[in-house]
Amino acid sequence: MRKYMPAGVATAVLLAVAGILLFRSAPVAEPPGEAAPPQEAEIRTIEGTVLRGDTVAGLFHRNRLRVEDLFGMRQAAAGVHALKNLSAGRPYRITLDPDNNVLSLAYHVNEMELLRVVRLGEGFEAEKVPIAYERRDGTLGGVIRSSLYSALPDDDRSTQLALELSDIFSWDVDFNTDLRTGDTFRVVVEELWLGGEFRRYGNVLAAELVIDGNTFRAYRFEDGGHADYFDDTGRVLRRAFLKAPLSYRRISSGFTRRRLHPILKIVQPHLGVDYSAPAGTPVSSTGEGTVTFAGYKGPNGNLVIVRHGKGYVTSYGHLSRFAKGIRAGTRVRQGDVIGYVGATGRATGPHLDYRMKRNGVFLNPLKVAPPRGGEVASARMDDFRATQNRMQGVLAGIDTGSGYAAAGQDL
């Protein structure tokens, strides 16, 4: 929280009204000993959505607001969220007293946080507060015709849900190569509502995929203060390595001891997997570890090498460039972007050369099945089983032929 106190402004009495009007978030208590604030009918409100090219100064100028208030609010918000950083499409609300003095500003920084700037005493106070969404449980189900993305409702919110599902099952399912026409999915997911309108999806609570006759399930469960996803047996889905280091790709060359090199035209081993993908596609570290090399290395072009635990090492070649901060000694987490697909070094086109070693021996990444990260603690297994049984009943009741099902139902 940050405060700014310019001289010559005596409007502390308006704090309570500002807090009440600010997107109906928790009210700010009125300072003791002050006169009663003006009635709500006397308060004027300006609200809307940030347009492309909008600035706070432009909003103030367009609505003939006091530049002194703009200066004070910018100073108060500087250490919380710079007011110059407005994003198109984000809602805002400004409240004014009868003399056109600004009482408050509320701006949706993102989907989860609100910047709140209110007049306090002889200045302003700024803070970020969580957006108080109403959480409801909803279900979706469907049949996959071409991809999971196309099987969900056609909007940005569903795209984010598809990405979340691909993350949950990414250790067991390759969503670019494993899905078949006729596969099905069922999902129980939080819905976040604000002002009576559905805004976005929250946490996936449970999910089921049936792929080529094989069933995969995931249940969200908190164990040891940390939420994770577990399978039917109570084992965590997360593994030491992701199944693949990037999305939107196809395998152009697999792991083999004898391959005709496309440039040298000689037969030699190819001890990795080539993923063909558009230049600039983000490349992620498949496991947690430490970068031991990030630079240009002959035929490999721009190369990143990551050392993991238990003797594993992975490498990522032919990158167009490295992600910000990636250098020798950088600690990376599983899924962190380390670079971008390119065609540097000895390459005929944009692709990623991904390789894996253990104790110095090359492995075929497509056949490695690293162990899972653990299981539900025995003391919590009864609680997990209760959650699992409840969610299994909900999943079983989802009709995959009807698509989106009953938003906001009480589960």
* pLDDT digit string, tens, across residues 129-179: 988 888 999 999 989 887 777 777 766 677 788 888 888 988 888 777 788
Report the topology of domain 2-130.
Nuclear Transport Factor 2; Chain: A, (3.10.450)
pLDDT reported for residue 410 = 40
| 326 in Cβ contact with 274 (< 8 Å) | no
CA gyration radius for the chain?
27
Using 50, 70 and 90 to split pLDDT, how confident is the model at 268?
Answer: low
- The pLDDT of residue 248 is above 60: no
- The pLDDT of residue 67 is above 50: yes
How far apart (Å, rounded) are the C-alpha atoms in residues 175 and 248?
Answer: 9
pLDDT reported for residue 154 = 67
How far apart (Å, rounded) are the C-alpha atoms in residues 360 and 309?
Answer: 13
How far apart (Å, rounded) are the C-alpha atoms in residues 17 and 97?
Answer: 10
Domain boundaries defined on the chain: 2-130, 134-239+374-409, 250-367
Alpha helices in 30-79 (DSSP H): 56-62, 67-77
Q: Tell me the per-residue pLDDT of 270-312, one tens digit each, with 9 for 90 and over.
A: 678 899 888 999 999 999 999 999 999 999 999 999 999 889 9
pLDDT reported for residue 332 = 95
Domains 2-130 and 250-367 share a fold: no
Q: Is the backbone of residue 186 left (phi > 0), alpha (psi -120 to 50) or beta?
A: beta
- The pLDDT of residue 20 is above 60: no
How far apart (Å, rounded) are the C-alpha atoms in residues 388 and 206?
Answer: 9
Q: Tell me the per-residue pLDDT of 113-143, one tens digit each, with 9 for 90 and over.
A: 989 999 988 889 999 998 888 899 999 998 9
For 134-239+374-409, CATH number out of 3.20.20.70, 3.10.450.350, 3.30.465.10, 1.10.10.10 equals 3.10.450.350
| 332 in Cβ contact with 306 (< 8 Å) | yes
How far apart (Å, rounded) are the C-alpha atoms in residues 230 and 359?
Answer: 30
For 250-367, CATH number out of 3.40.50.300, 3.40.50.410, 2.30.40.10, 2.70.70.10 equals 2.70.70.10
Tell me, yes or no, if the pTM score tops 0.75: no
- The pLDDT of residue 3 is above 70: no
Mean pLDDT within 387-394: 96
* Contact residues for 93 (Cβ-Cβ < 8 A; gap 6+): 21, 22, 23, 45, 46, 47, 104, 105, 106
